[in-house]
Chains A and B, each alone.
Chain A
Amino acid sequence: MFDLRSGARIRKGEVIVKISARRLDQTTIFDVSGDIDMSNSLEVRKALLGEIREAKKSRVVLNLTDVRYIDSSGVASLVEGLKASRESGSRFVLFGLSAAAREVLKISRLLKLFEIYEDEEQAMSA
């Protein structure tokens, strides 16, 4: 499972998603790569909610540049992250959405709900 202490969060034996965290002052940036689907969205959700609720950073940023695919359970994890952020008074920011990720949020009518930027520079300066 995830090793929170090292900051390297790679599920043992899992080949299709990898999450690592960078902590910078009041911001945590999650770098996610691979596909987010039913097989691993729970782990993604746990990592996000743990950071939002326990570390209590004022901003949680999700780098989705290397996420090729995200399914409805992955979208549900993002919605959970957004709701938890709102409850704790922090910002929940996405950047680097692939066409597939953008399409799934658009069809779900969630695109405008999230704070979305093109790249990390924009996300960090916003």
Chain B
Amino acid sequence: MKSPLNLSRAFLLKLELRSHPKLLCVVRGAMEPLMEMLGFSESECRAIIRAVDEALSNIMRHSYHGRLDQVIDVLCRRVQRRAHAKTGQGVEILMFDRGPAIDLAKLHGRPLDEIRPGGLGLHLIRDTMDSVEYTRTGRFNRLRMVKYVRPSKRGPNP
């Protein structure tokens, strides 16, 4: 199958995994040191890992309807927010799946004032990431998430 990606910019991490929930812990394990390396705080690392995990779970559940052998691509690269050259470093996380096109109108979590199980994944993603975009690219669903490192309260080192 032809790759959906233009590899003009270097990726720090590329993973191709199957849509098996037991692989979620593998991805979490790969994400943690990468996010630490990119300068995210401990709580930011936890939040990004949670967003990635929820996004993958949504693909497994809703795009692939629980089928365990489908392909998901996860790619991470460093990004720079141009408006804040010194403090605008971050990470762009791309996910591609080959499921049917997502109905964007249905992409909403449950109202948080309703106390019932389920429907929280999207809230957890949007609460964390600075940007979340779903698009259809050819035969692929593409999820792009961006998170910037929060500037340290202590300010830059002398």
Residues of A within 8 A of B (CB): 16, 35, 37-39, 69, 71-73, 75-77, 79-80, 99-100, 103-104, 107-110, 113
Contacts and interface: CB of A to CB of B under 8 A. Distances in A.
Interface of B is mostly: helix
B24 A38 contact: yes
Given A73-B57, A80-B117, 15 more contacts: A16-B25, A38-B57, A39-B21, A39-B22, A71-B50, A71-B57, A72-B57, A72-B120, A99-B43, A103-B46, A108-B112, A108-B124, A109-B113, A110-B115, A113-B115
A71 B112 contact: no
Contacts of B115: 79, 110, 113
A113 B117 CA distance: 13
Contacts, number: 66
B124 A72 contact: yes
B150 to A, nearest CB: 15
Contacts of B25: 16, 35, 37, 39
Interface string B34-55: 0000000011001101100110
